[in-house]
Amino acid sequence: MPIDLGLARISKLLKHLNNPHINAFKSIHIAGTNGKGSTIAYLSSILTQSRIPNGRFTSPHMLYYNDCISINNEIYPWDKFKKVNDFILEQNSLLQLGCTEFELLTVTAFKIFELEKIDIAIIEVGLGGRLDATNVLEPYSETSKGGVIASGITKIGFDHENLLGHTLSAIAFEKAGIIKAGIPCVVDRSNNKEVIQVIQEKAQQQSSDIYLVDGINESSPPPTLSDFKLSTAKEVLKSSPLRGDYQLQNLSISLKIIELLTITNHINLTLEQIKEGIKHTSWPGRLQQITIPTLNNLSILLDGAHNESAAIELGKFLDIERHNNNNNNNNNNSGIIFIIAMTSGKNIKSILSHIVDKEKDTIIVTAFSQPDQMPWIQSYDIKYLQHEASLYVNDVDPLIETNISNVLKHVATNYRHKNDTRPIVLCGSLYLCGDVLRYIEAATS
């Protein structure tokens, strides 16, 4: 069943299962257009290093259907995942609720968290917020074992406009729908002013404290983690393996949430555990440098960059790389070889216009494989995307190939082996990043 936003179906299914999201564990709920996954990765790693049992639910999956659910930073095993998922599917069928695939996956995650007896679940909004399946979560209270103890809103930009609205205010309204009554919410201060205004209005309605953070400033003096304050975010970011200046924003949200939960006695940890958690954070497919041993250690930068906000950040990163290459090579030929696929319906201009150089870059177009359990997701036709790409670069490779292994061999043979030393960047879709990571896993196993 394709995307169908609403909470009625999932609420009925969860009630039938005794509401594990209310009765079994506490939650941290994260919304936003970009940065949700990185923020959650920081939180999960910090909690894991602090030996606080935690679960993580993110979407979409990267390599395999079950990798959207992790326990203590470890992907939940397929056999155990399938057993729970099959049970949820059976209950949905018996009750004839007609839940969507994402609703069923969300319930599966909640049930797994209950079975694994975690303390805190870190949950990413799937799409939007107000009507997203994950927003069935309720605020924590002293009378219940579970519920939301903190929420976070990362950078908001344009994406899924057909479902969320065509203005930043409209999109922000949907994202702000996760703010729970009386529960603190930490927000990326770098958001557009109209976004901040919408969030603050929603927080006021919910009597929720809002904390605006950017790694340097915040909206009120930090509470008291005696040896730790947000002003150290920029410093501890140096130990993070995640790249990109925007990670300062994501890390700041994570640190503020950790700080607030420490103050309210939901968790108890030390500065050293926080630092260790940051150092061990992993989040694939975002400015991730990989090498392919079977292709003479071909080096590729992977980045999903699937919407305009993400493309802008990738463009900033690549501008620095181009500048460094110019200085190192003492010339102006700082071109890049792009391998690109995009989900059908995405705004091609809003992505390519921020990352490519018309004169110096080459684009190789491909298509990603069909994601598991997501039949409504389709890749752009290669020939169509090649035509559109030709509006932004002069050199579009004529290759027509959907198999990522053949695309990578083509790059190695027709570019690297012919002394084309330009950096290689694969982007436009997290599903394409997943194809590459699966290929490497299979080739090296």
Q: Give the Cα separation of 169 and 171 in Å (integer).
A: 5
List CB contacts of 296: < 8 A, sequence separation 6 or more. 412, 416
Beta strands in 127-267 (DSSP E): 147-153, 185-188, 210-213
For residue 217, what pLDDT is reported? 55
Q: Give the Cα separation of 360 and 318 in Å (integer).
A: 13
Name the DSSP letter for residue 177.
G
Name the DSSP letter for residue 404.
H
For residue 165, what pLDDT is reported? 82
Tell me which residue of 116, 432, 123, 92 sits closest to 284, measured CA to CA.
432
For residue 334, what pLDDT is reported? 77
For residue 231, what pLDDT is reported? 47
DSSP assignment of 36-91 equals: HHHHHHHHHHHHHHTT--EEEE-SS-SSSGGGGEEETTEEPPHHHHHHHHHHHHHH
Which tokens in the block code for residue 325? 């290459």
Q: Within 13 Å, how many C-alpha atoms sit on residue 17's CB side?
A: 31
Tally Cβ neighbours within 10 Å of residue 312.
20
For residue 220, what pLDDT is reported? 44
For residue 272, what pLDDT is reported? 85
For residue 227, what pLDDT is reported? 44
Give SS3 for 240: coil
List CB contacts of 55: < 8 A, sequence separation 6 or more. 25, 69, 70, 71, 109, 112, 113, 116, 118, 120, 121, 122
Q: 160: phi > 0 → left, psi -120 to 50 → alpha, else beta; which? A: left
Q: Tens-digit pLDDT profile for the chain (445 aa)?
A: 556 777 999 999 999 999 999 999 999 999 999 899 999 999 999 999 999 999 999 998 889 999 999 999 999 999 999 999 999 999 999 999 999 999 999 999 999 999 999 999 999 999 888 999 999 999 998 888 899 999 999 999 887 777 788 899 999 999 999 999 999 999 999 999 999 999 999 999 999 999 998 866 554 444 444 444 444 566 777 788 898 888 889 999 999 999 899 888 889 888 888 889 999 999 999 999 999 999 999 999 999 998 898 999 999 999 988 877 766 665 556 799 999 999 999 999 999 999 999 999 999 999 999 998 888 899 999 999 999 999 999 999 999 999 999 999 999 999 999 999 999 999 999 999 999 999 999 888 7
Give exposure, 65-91, as e/b (b: 16+ Cβ within 10 Å): bbbbbbbbbebbeeeebeebbeebeeb
Q: Positive or negative, the Cα torsion across 14, 139, 72, 247?
A: positive
Note the helical H segments in 213-279.
Answer: 233-236, 247-263, 271-279
CB 215 within 8 A of CB 252: yes
Helical (H) or strand (E) element with 289: strand 288-292
pTM (global) more than 0.75? yes
For residue 171, what pLDDT is reported? 93
For residue 216, what pLDDT is reported? 61
